[in-house]
Amino acid sequence: MSMRFGWTRPQSTPLLTDDEGVEDVSTPRADVTSDPAPSRSGPVDALRDATSRTGDPPPAPSAAVLDVWQLHERVLDTERKARRLLSGGTARREHHDAVVAEAEALNKLGFQNYDAFAAVHGAEQSGASAPFEPVTGEETVRRISVLLGELGVEPGEDPLETAKRFLASAEEPDAPPAPPIVPAVAAAPAAPAETPEVPAAAVPEAAVTEAAVTEAPDDATVIFRMKEQDATLLWNLSDGAIGIVPYGSGEEIMRHPIGSGPFKFVRAETDQEVVIERNDTYWGEKANLARVRFAVVPDATTQALELRKGSGDVAINSLTPDTVLTLSRESNLAVERAPGTRLAYLGFNLRDPILRDARVRQAIAYALDRRPMIDYLWRGQAEPARSVLPTQSWAYNSNVAAYEHDIPKANQLLDAAGYPPINGVRFHITMKTSTDENTRLMVTVMQQQLREAGIALDIRSFEFATFFSDVQHGAFQMYGLRWIGGNEDPDIFEYAFHSTKFPPNGANRSYYSNPKVDALIDKARRETDLNMRKPLYAEVQRVLAEDLPYIDLWYLDNVLVHTRRVQNLKLNPAGNYDFLRSAELVSAANPPAPSGN
């Protein structure tokens, strides 16, 4: 028997590959640079903010600046689509002409807008003295030209002719599919995962450089002889952060992963499906399911319909609370719910001239009211958070600064930081998000709440690949993501907050740097006595709560909706796919009786 598995976006088990907790193993590190691009979260807003501090009315952004800015966002989106096409097979040939046409249109717009932008840019920049380097129209033109070249477009060639020429030369077997997005062992240590939308990028091999010698005396034994004590090694080995792959494996392991788990990889088709089957040679208890198909269903409404008609069997943590409530009334469906460790958080770019001030970040925390969002948006399916670590962690510290809703306190901090209200607005900041429905609702509520403190929050939503790439490159002021699973061990502090872990070396995307925190983390990672490590990590949490590179919002419950023919589903607090280990199908002739859900 086989089970059909519906999911909204490709999602991985944290630490089985590698952060809204899942970050993603599917994102090539080669696309990430250590020198982040200038923030594209709003030079127009930065101009407005810089001038407003002088007491003068904020100037209106020029049409040329806005046009070039929007054009550049389109270029980035088209670039990423082109990258996916260039690495794919059938999908590439099918959509190539549309991408080329968009690139051609952008090419024309780029040159049309560049002259106008250049004419006004100097005056606006000098008038505002804004401490940022905006992306120019010239850069937009350059990127478009490179894009067209990579797509095989000849200068002056008609897009349709390009598509015909491309198709004529592509009558060869499909290229191997892109690396599958599926829980699988990684060729290098993998980082904790971070958003339910995509799995996370692999961690550099520096994570295991403490091992001076690695020995394998027999097929079932491995010995690590360490250069120094590493308290995190056993955690990373036991929970999948360090994968086991055949000796000599290269890039092919990403196209056809080989692991030692209860399932094995069968095939993957980009944006369509991933198929796995039972590993009958698994060393532990064999899985009950013969085969599982992960179907990529980008629309939550469509996913709900698939569950109702039985063409999909399971969806975990991907439906809105309202949809879950509706589906719970269906006689052929059941809902499983349990407390989880998935953390939703807001991240700040500490290189931003406004957000680098801790008082501003604290004011934003005071201005937000989490309780109504938990009660009404999540229907009570979450608990407020004070730390990246979940409350179940042995290292969790609840004795840290808390930021209960307090508008007067927020106003006091913003006044002290030098941002008086002008016509009711202190400054504009931009928050980038994915197009996830729950996220969009959440940031809309936040926009209203921050307005009470005089903060104008501008929202920009992008499809996840674009959004996550911008976050990885530091092209944001604020963003929202989730940690899934990777935050269950305090080693997360090194990966997310140590000053040596700026992207692409880690997930310190806030560019947070505090020598005291670095020293505490380093000491705790070398200390093997749990009683000695706990107070070190407690102090890390106390300092982070004061410095506030993140606002920890809430821990989300795990909610799994499934057809009644699928039984014996045991939810894991991390919200991963471990329930597939025990899941089984019941006979259609003898279905379980509906319960009260």
Read off the tokens for 168: 């004529």
* DSSP 8-class letter at 202: B
Q: Which residues pair with 292 in a beta bridge?
A: 3, 276
Predicted confidence at residue 593, as pLDDT, reads: 58
Cβ atoms of residues 510 and 550 within 8 Å: yes
Three-state SS annotation for 85-142: HHHCCHHHHHHHHHHHHHHHHHHHHHHHHHHHHHHHHHHHHHHHCCCCCCCCHHHHHH
Read off the tokens for 580: 């597939």
Predicted confidence at residue 107, as pLDDT, reads: 63
* DSSP 8-class letter at 193: B
Q: How far apart are CA 50 and CA 427, in angstroms?
A: 9
Residue among 205, 250, 204 nearest 34 (CA) = 204
Question: Could you give the C-alpha distances from 363 to 367, 465, 592, in angstroms and in order?
Answer: 6, 30, 52
What values do phi and psi take at 170, rounded to 5? -110, 15
Residue among 522, 495, 479, 472 nearest 28 (CA) = 472
**Which residues of the chain have a pLDDT value below 70?**
1-212, 238-244, 588-597
Residue among 338, 341, 340, 319 nearest 330 (CA) = 319
Predicted confidence at residue 217, as pLDDT, reads: 87
Q: Model confidence over 310-367: pLDDT tens digits?
A: 999 999 998 889 899 999 999 999 999 999 999 999 999 999 999 999 999 999 999 9
Which DSSP string corresponds to 441-505? HHHHHHHHHHHTTTEEEEEEEE-HHHHHHHHHTT--SEEEEEEBSGGGSTTHHHHHH-TT--TTS
Cβ atoms of residues 85 and 96 within 8 Å: yes
Rounded mean pLDDT of the chain? Answer: 74
Alpha carbon 210 to chain centroid distance?
A: 28
Q: Model confidence over 262-276: pLDDT tens digits?
A: 999 999 988 889 999
Residue among 551, 508, 484 nearest 203 (CA) = 508
CB atoms within 10 A of CB 377: 17
Asked, as a colleague might, if the bond just before 246 is cis with ω within 30 of 0, I would say no
Alpha helices in 30-89 (DSSP H): 43-52, 63-87
Read off the tokens for 143: 């990127």
Predicted confidence at residue 43, as pLDDT, reads: 32
Cβ atoms of residues 132 and 353 within 8 Å: yes
Read off the tokens for 268: 């993957």
Q: How far apart are CA 303 and CA 6, in angstroms?
A: 7
Which DSSP string corresponds to 507-559? S-TT----HHHHHHHHHHHH---HHHHHHHHHHHHHHHHHH-SEEEEEEEEEE
Predicted confidence at residue 365, as pLDDT, reads: 98
* DSSP 8-class letter at 303: H
User: DSSP 3-state assignment of 388?
Assistant: coil
What values do phi and psi take at 434, rounded to 5? -85, 180
Burial class of residue 201 (count of CB atoms within 10 Å of its CB; 0-12, 13-18, 19+): buried
Q: Which residues pair with 337 in a beta bridge?
A: 559
- Angle of helix 407-416 relative to helix 358-367, nearest 10 degrees, comes to 160
